A and B are shown apart, each in its own frame.
Chain A
Amino acid sequence: MLKSELVAHLANRNPKIREFLVKKGVDDIINRMIEALLDEKGRIELRGFGSLSCRYYGPRRAHNPRSGEFLTAAACAKPHFKAGRILKARIINAPIIEDNLDSV
């Protein structure tokens, strides 16, 4: 499912909100979440869904396995999603549809 399809679904379920506002609302939700993850170095907790947090990994010594040469791998940060208990339980028996793998 792509963002556009999500917007269409949402608009269907919320007929009182005009579609262009639904679209803007979705973008605002996403942007607010990105902002929270990045600028406040914070967490997002969504009851029943899960939580997103920012994980920071400091720089580390790495080496090129072919040449044996030592390098310093830069610090990196990654967003991490942890599914909530309810979502996990809902997904546990989900089949996996491979059909939209190439649709992006």
Chain B
Amino acid sequence: MPTSSDNFMQTLTKADLITTVETTIAIENHLARSLVEDFFEIIAATLEQGEEVKLSGFGNFTLLKKKERLARNPKTGAKALVSARTVVSFRASPTLKRRFEELAHRMHDQALKKPPIKKPAKELAIT
């Protein structure tokens, strides 16, 4: 279970990205808007065609094939067949991973009073 040591969260939205682009490359608002919207639209359209998107320094949007499976409605317990499908997953690039590691250490230092114990995952980051 993911936990956040901090309840205060800010959400970055498309509007924030538009403002960022508008100021950093000094273009009109409607051009910045179309740039940001096309950015995500091109990624989505590429994935839709079955091609993965690799953004160096950020990460890869990869596609995974899922087989048909039986699932249960957790509320009613009724079985339901989930059809075979393709899903998207995001893999952070090595540079981003490293920065997240540093963040984890900082967050851990802040949350030292109550270190939660987790079940071991498949890949262990052992110090």
Contact = CB atoms under 8 A, between A and B. Distances in A.
Contact of B86 (A71, A76, A96): A96
Interface size class of A (residues with CB under 8 A): 35 or more
A76 B103 CA distance: 8
A79 B97 CA distance: 8
Interface size class of B (residues with CB under 8 A): 35 or more
What does DSSP make chain A's interface, helix, strand, loop or mixed? Answer: mixed
Contacts of A100: 51-52, 54
Nearest to A97: B50
A75 B96 contact: no
B56 A2 contact: yes
Given A43-B9, A47-B14, A57-B104, A29 B88 contact: no
Given A96-B63, A97-B51, A61 B100 contact: no
A41 interface: yes
A74 B49 contact: no
A76 B50 CA distance: 31
B3 to A, nearest CB: 6
Nearest to B109: A75
A38 B21 contact: no
Interface of B: 2-6, 9-14, 16-17, 20-21, 24-25, 27, 31-32, 34-36, 38-40, 42-44, 46-59, 61, 63, 65, 85-90, 92, 96-97, 99-101, 103-105, 107-108, 111, 115-121, 124-127
